[in-house]
Amino acid sequence: MNMSQWLRPRSIFSNFSNTSRTIAVWVGLAVLAAAFPWVSDTQAAASSGESRHINAQRLQGNLEKLSEFGRNPEGGVTRLGFSQTEMDARTYVTGLMKEAGLEVRVDAAGNIFGRRAGTAPLPTLLFGSHIDSVPHGGNFDGTVGSLGAIEVIRALNDGHVTTQHPLEVVIWTNEEGPHFGISALGSGVAAGVLGPEILDRKDDVGLTLADWLRRYEQDPAHLTDARIPRGTLAAILELHIEQGPQLYETKVQIGVVQGIVGLKRWKCIATGFANHAGTTPMNRRKDALAAAAKDLLAVRDVVREEPGRQVGTVGYMKAEPGAPNVIPGRVEFPVELRDLDAATIERMWEHIQQRFAQTDKEEGVETRCAVINDIAPALSDPSVQSVIREAARSTGLSTADMPSGAVHDAGEISRLAPMGMIFVPSRDGISHAPQEFSAWDDVANGTEVLYRSILKLDKQMNAR
């Protein structure tokens, strides 16, 4: 019996079309989020480390070792997807997978899978995360879910526990995406939403994505071989740090993710005219950086225009030629918009474009923007959410249902299989920064919930 057959009859959204189901869920989530910024549905007794199956010390040791790859003097790591540093970290993590007895393979997008056989011919229960980071990022984003997944396998081995479903741990390629501008790259290819059109993308030093895949010992001509065939996955689970303040501030131990925001990203080029900074009168300039600065503020204004949780960011500006005595003639900057509702993102972008056109006129500049990343919002499966909630309760942990403002690989794989995510608290809500931290006890709690969720899904999904 395959997982989607098992889940659908129990899913409250099972009779809806995909589109109306999406709308219904997001309207529901929006109402919920507006009424209760977070909904704590259980305040159970504090957990006891003794009741855990997973080994918290072993997990911490492995996470600390992983944090050495790309470590920065100020703390945290820079371990970009498709970099030598990440390649070295991949070798370390692949070793851990093999030590755990997993049969390791790497797909054409560079995603690493480690398989543990099941006792029945059933679709695979897939779980894992990513080990790449943003520049000057933290030690917990992605790594907790990656090494937590390997720890789940180690704990099953220790307890001589078998499962009916085959289990696979996955380490997705280039989730963060600063390199090549594509977030959730590996999972996007696996889900079939990205294809060979991305291969010619060049990075700052002129290497293409295809070049990097070759360095990862993959043949870019076979990129689409990485697509996961529909029906082969029973479910996808991802353990992750929350990356926001809600769990930490409310002292709730486990977040049960209801859905993940959509993200759309554009690369914009403002073209003016590079000229002498001393001799060009102020009213005869075509200053691309002045225009881009106005554009940045326009993004912020438009996003703030309506109430809601939508966000918009201009993450950098590259001005050329980049000298104090030359008026910038060309500026590259990205625009990133996120919301639970894809229509809100489109509406904001319409307004932003109008504001950019106005600025172009005022500054004598031309600004062109092209989409470089488009990730649709994703829903967690209600039945998988229940399993996670029950797993947390059985461990004595409190839970809160919550949306995710960060994107995640599990979101892309939700196009193929029922998805669920487990969040653990982030200290002070800080992430994508060296100060990112989650208490080791919280990391262990999340991993134990992942362990129990996997076993519950394994039992329940094959019960009919």
Size of the chain in residues: 464
Count the Cβ atoms, other than its own, within 10 Å of residue 279: 8
Shortest reach from residue 432's CB to Mn ion, in Å: 6
What's the half-sphere exposure (Cβ side, CA atoms, 13 Å) at 392? Answer: 29
The angle subtended at Cα 369 by Cα 365 and Cα 374, nearest 5°, is: 165
Nearer of residues 238 and 458 to ligand GLV, judged by Cβ: 238
**Three-class DSSP category at 373:** strand
Q: With beta carbons less than 8 A apart as the criterion, state whether 394 and 330 touch.
A: no
Partner whose binding site includes residue 242, from ligand GLV, Mn ion, none (CB under 5 to 8 Å by kind): none
Nearer of residues 272 and 411 to ligand GLV, judged by Cβ: 411
Nearer of residues 77 and 291 to Mn ion, judged by Cβ: 77
Largest distance between two CA atoms of the chain: 80
Tokens in use for 404? 């995710």
Partner whose binding site includes residue 328, from ligand GLV, Mn ion, none (CB under 5 to 8 Å by kind): none
359: exposed, middle or buried (Cβ count in 10 Å: 0-12, 13-18, 19+): buried
Nearer of residues 242 and 295 to ligand GLV, judged by Cβ: 242
Q: Is the peptide bond before 382 cis (omega within 30 degrees of 0)?
A: no
**Amino acid identity at 463:** A
Q: Which residues between 321 and 360 bind ligand GLV (CB under 6 A)?
A: none
Q: What are the distances in angstroms from CA 150 to CA 22, 103, 155, 161, 243?
A: 32, 12, 9, 15, 21
Partner whose binding site includes residue 453, from ligand GLV, Mn ion, none (CB under 5 to 8 Å by kind): none
Nearer of residues 210 and 410 to Mn ion, judged by Cβ: 410
Partner whose binding site includes residue 403, from ligand GLV, Mn ion, none (CB under 5 to 8 Å by kind): none
Count the Cβ atoms, other than its own, within 10 Å of residue 168: 21
The residue sitting closest to ligand GLV, measured at its beta carbon, is 406
By CB under 6 A, name the one of 107, 132, 176, 381 that touches ligand GLV: 176
Number of shown-chain residues binding ligand GLV (CB under 6 A): 4
Shortest reach from residue 222's CB to ligand GLV, in Å: 27
Nearer of residues 242 and 287 to ligand GLV, judged by Cβ: 242
Partner whose binding site includes residue 183, from Mn ion, ligand GLV, none (CB under 5 to 8 Å by kind): ligand GLV
Shortest reach from residue 376's CB to ligand GLV, in Å: 14
Residues making contact with Mn ion (CB under 5 A): 141-142
Q: With beta carbons less than 8 A apart as the criterion, state whether 148 and 59 touch.
A: yes
Q: What are phi and psi of 148, to 5 degrees?
A: -60, -40
Nearer of residues 7 and 261 to Mn ion, judged by Cβ: 261
Partner whose binding site includes residue 360, from Mn ion, ligand GLV, none (CB under 5 to 8 Å by kind): none
Q: Does 365 contact ligand GLV by CB under 6 A? A: no
Q: Which of 245, 241, 273 is nearest to 257 (CA)?
A: 241
Q: Which of 168, 279, 241, 186 is nearest to 405 (CA)?
A: 241
Shortest reach from residue 186's CB to ligand GLV, in Å: 13
Partner whose binding site includes residue 407, from ligand GLV, Mn ion, none (CB under 5 to 8 Å by kind): ligand GLV
Q: With beta carbons less than 8 A apart as the criterion, state whether 413 and 228 touch.
A: yes
Q: Does 448 contact ligand GLV by CB under 6 A? A: no
Q: Does 407 contact ligand GLV by CB under 6 A? A: yes
Partner whose binding site includes residue 454, from ligand GLV, Mn ion, none (CB under 5 to 8 Å by kind): none
Q: What element of type H or E holds 231?
A: none
Partner whose binding site includes residue 150, from Mn ion, ligand GLV, none (CB under 5 to 8 Å by kind): none
Burial 409-439 (b: 16+ CB within 10 A, else e): bbbbbbbbbbbbbbbbbbbeebbbebebbbe
Shortest reach from residue 406's CB to Mn ion, in Å: 6
Q: Which residues between 179 and 208 bind ligand GLV (CB under 6 A)?
A: 183
Nearer of residues 176 and 339 to ligand GLV, judged by Cβ: 176
Distance CA 153, CA 258 (A): 26
Nearer of residues 118 and 128 to Mn ion, judged by Cβ: 128
Residues that bind ligand GLV (CB under 6 A): 176, 183, 406-407
